[in-house]
Chains A and B, each alone.
Chain A
């Protein structure tokens, strides 16, 4: 009887863990937690948890655990062990379903500190080719690059199929090494991603990369730009930071990247609330470094984007 009760509790724990994983995956709540490369494991694990949990609960008590005289599991048939397992395995996950806000607050951002040099962010290997990439809005065509990085072919004329995750425009690819990199005045801006209202839609990381990349500065300079991020106020009421979190594997390793924004007028946005900033990027040289500041014309609250994290 004790063994059967223990089996049922253990089986329920495993099924419960599986249901939580499946719930997070199919409701889309999983997205901010994991890099896309890790997400497919979650539903697979969820199905396996549910299956083996049911098998465990339904199997004959004590059958096969492990074999005669060889069991290495402590108190394998103890209901108390099963209750502890449920409290430590299933309960925290269930609590997460109910209580987690699926995001960090301002304190976590401040504790982690902002990435100072955007070109040092880790990049994942693009499985489609030898290039590395980060989650950027500017397509490689806008920089005059083709997919093998040689830029030997004519620039495409149809931008509708251009990938939004382009080759990193960081220090690895200085425009001097690529003679086809445009200077911003040759029509390359037509390849920049556009928002529905016609403004150039960029990510925070694009503008931070532009600090290091003159060709990018020429492309985005003077244009009206829209950038989405989370609002982080500062002591100066006319300035704030537009924050995005960059993750490599999961949210536990998230690192904040921040774009300084100057805005006039009263801000009516909650801390770490999602906003869209419309304005122009201004680049200033301080010492041997170029710094970007977004001069905001308009700041509006929005719903969180489908991908809250940058990769």
Chain B
């Protein structure tokens, strides 16, 4: 049997399933983004975070606990927050952490790994996800916003508003132009629609690529990789990349890969919500392609090394 066999029937079925599952979440993210843009003053966005850049980055990784947004909806929210004055490092940390460090994912991970050390797996997943997101945020601080943000995706005015410092934009323009609630509401809807269109286009491209892989490629070709720690970790992250699962439910899939060790499945559950085919295109809405590729490689290496070199001992010490 060939390793690649394309069928329109299978492609359409898988593609539409991904679209039906993901589009409502992209919509929610866009609506939140529009509401933030129209109703939330910049000073509030930046006011809730510590003034110190490092502490702000650390705090951003925990925003998902009270503001859970899945990876499908996170990009428009982050773009809007950055445009409102959120430092890029905080935006990146929030973007990577929120799909993992949130109560819904904790609950679903616990449920999926019932009988397979659920408390340990929940703790490791949230802690590992937070650590990686914060490390990525700290790394981003080394770059200038113009180096990583896509031109036009976020306004970076010439006035002093370095994206690595807390310095909110004045909201006077919005307040003067759109003083009434109804006008603000219409503005929020319009901005949400434009955000949705920008984001959903990339989501659909990612869903199409994932659907092709899911249905046309013989999945058995990757199973022999499960026996080696490094290869199994790489394989699970590669699977996460192409399956493009929602972080709220990917633990149920990870739990089924019983032939793979737990540390490799943890790499799947941390890398997948941070970077997959769909997210590659979604991140391209906000960031330059070069940065997105670099981010993917960095996350792949960091998560892969920590999983296969450190988590392997953690699980072994627990007899798992």
Contact = CB atoms under 8 A, between A and B. Distances in A.
Nearest to B82: A72
A311 to B, nearest CB: 11
A33 B20 contact: yes
B198 A73 contact: yes
Nearest to A97: B16
Interface string B107-149: 1000110110000000000000000000000000000000000
B269 interface: no
A252 B14 contact: yes
A307 interface: no
A53 B193 contact: yes
Contact of A111 (B15, B155, B215): B215
Interface string A102-143: 111101101111010100111111000000100000000000
Nearest to A42: B20
B279 to A, nearest CB: 15
Interface in B199-222: 200-201, 204-205, 208, 210-211, 214-220
B195 to A, nearest CB: 7
Interface stretch (B47-55, B58-66, B89-97, B244-252): B244-252
Nearest to A24: B20
Contact of B112 (A14, A72, A100, A122): A122
B193 A21 contact: no
Contacts of B198: 73-74
Interface string B4-19: 0101111011111111
A252 to B, nearest CB: 5
A309 to B, nearest CB: 10
A73 B194 contact: yes
B197 interface: yes
Contact count band on B: 35 or more
B9 A105 contact: yes
B24 interface: yes
A225 to B, nearest CB: 27
Contacts of B177: 67-68
Interface stretch (A87-95, A196-204, A273-281): A87-95
B13 A100 contact: yes
* Dominant secondary structure at the B interface: helix
Contact of A108 (B7, B114, B155, B204): B7
Interface residues of A, number: 75
B106 interface: no
B191 interface: yes
A69 interface: yes
A251 B13 contact: yes
A34 interface: yes
B95 to A, nearest CB: 16
Interface of B: 1, 5, 7-10, 12-21, 23-25, 27, 31, 37-38, 79-80, 83, 107, 111-112, 114-115, 152-155, 157, 169, 173-174, 177-178, 183, 186-198, 200-201, 204-205, 208, 210-211, 214-220, 223, 243-246, 249, 252-253, 255-256, 258
Given A34-B21, A253-B245, 13 more contacts: A38-B20, A53-B193, A65-B194, A67-B177, A68-B174, A69-B157, A70-B173, A84-B201, A89-B201, A96-B12, A108-B13, A122-B112, A250-B21
14 contacts: A55-B189, A55-B190, A64-B187, A65-B194, A73-B198, A81-B197, A89-B197, A96-B19, A100-B9, A105-B9, A111-B215, A111-B218, A111-B219, A249-B246
Interface of A: 10-11, 13-14, 17, 21, 24, 30, 32-34, 38, 41-42, 44-45, 48-49, 52-53, 55-56, 59, 63-74, 76, 81, 84-85, 88-89, 92-93, 95-96, 99-105, 107-108, 110-113, 115, 117, 120-125, 132, 172, 248-253, 255
